[in-house]
Amino acid sequence: MAEFFTASVLVTTFAAGVRLSMPFLLAALGETLGQRSGVLNLGVDGVMLIGAFFAYWTVLETDSRLSGVVAGLLVGLAMGVLYAVVTLVFHAEQGISGIGIFLFGLGMSELLFQELVGTPLPIPALTEAPIPLLSDIPGLGTMLFSHSLLVYAGVVLVVLLTWLINRSTFGLDLRAVGENPEAADSLGVSVIRTRAIAILIGNSLAGVAGAALTIELGTFQNNLTNGIGFIAVALVYFGAWRPFGVLAGSLLYGLVTATVTQLKVLDIVSGAAASLTTTAPAVLTVLALAVIARRSASQPAALTVPFERRH
């Protein structure tokens, strides 16, 4: 155990944890926006998978990681249009239609991967973009300031979304629509349009999260996400519908995962017991929530409730 508590190991583990938490963060931030507007999307995992495939395929064909991220975003946006129509026009029950979106994404990404690529060819992985000066700080520099652009983008997004939700006019509409759509509607806020925007941004972020995952790993495989999208939904509850809370949850998940991986690398846990330690992030998240659930903020009042104007 002593070899884990050395400065260099702790620093690299922390840096890896930050990197690992990004796909969770991006997907969970998107889901936060949707849920604040009153729309639950359980299909995040499916959107991530399909976004990941198109990002992977685009990078494979064009050799440009930026195009890959854009491809993920656009596919996410397209899935968002589908989900917006299903939930806002047809008033479909959200928890369940999300399962449909998940299965669709799971099947489509595998189908397209086998048809268009077949074997998991490697793609260039993300390179680090150290921030000048800050990255030279011993320890902290490696932990926080020597990451890929996606990590910085994720953190900026947390700040941006906090501002958007709490300080902007759109955020006010968003919260009103999520808490009391009838009241918002009577004041002239378009419930459908506000929710549609939240769904579109949210799904785009899920697509980007998928792209981040495949580019981070440098390859693609069937069911690449292995449930990350579902965990992201759980992290929204964990983060009490606030971007910074979601950031904390994602970091917890990433850091614990990185720690477990590091313990395996150092042979501190080995063999079959290693699979048990893999459950640590899930167990911790549930336990943390069991402790704080009663005290934390309650969910948006109109979550999963479809809106229909009464004449």
Using CB under 8 A, list all residues that contact another protein.
Answer: 42, 46, 82, 86, 90-93, 95-97, 99-108, 110-111, 114-115, 222-223, 226-227, 230-231, 233-234, 237-238, 271-273, 275-276, 278-279, 282-283, 285-286, 289-290, 293-294, 299
Return the number of the residue (126 or 199) whose C-beta is nearest another protein. Answer: 199
Q: How far is the CB of 4 from another protein (least distance, A)?
A: 21
Could you give the maximum distance between any two Cα atoms of the chain, in Å?
A: 70
Return the number of the residue (161 or 236) whose C-beta is nearest another protein. Answer: 236
Q: How far is the CB of 134 from another protein (least distance, A)?
A: 35
Q: Measure CA of the first residue to CA of the last residue in the chain; give whole Å.
A: 68
CA 235 to chain centre: 9
CB 34 within 8 A of CB 95: no
Q: How far is the CB of 230 from another protein (least distance, A)?
A: 4
Return the number of the residue (14 or 83) whose C-beta is nearest another protein. Answer: 83
Return the number of the residue (229 or 243) whose C-beta is nearest another protein. Answer: 229
Q: How far is the CB of 275 from another protein (least distance, A)?
A: 4
Return the number of the residue (166 or 223) whose C-beta is nearest another protein. Answer: 223
Return the number of the residue (82 or 189) whose C-beta is nearest another protein. Answer: 82
Q: How far is the CB of 87 from another protein (least distance, A)?
A: 9
Q: How far is the CB of 266 from another protein (least distance, A)?
A: 19
Return the number of the residue (106 or 126) whose C-beta is nearest another protein. Answer: 106
Q: How far is the CB of 305 from another protein (least distance, A)?
A: 13
**Of 223, 199, 253, which Cα lies nearest the Cα of 39?**
199
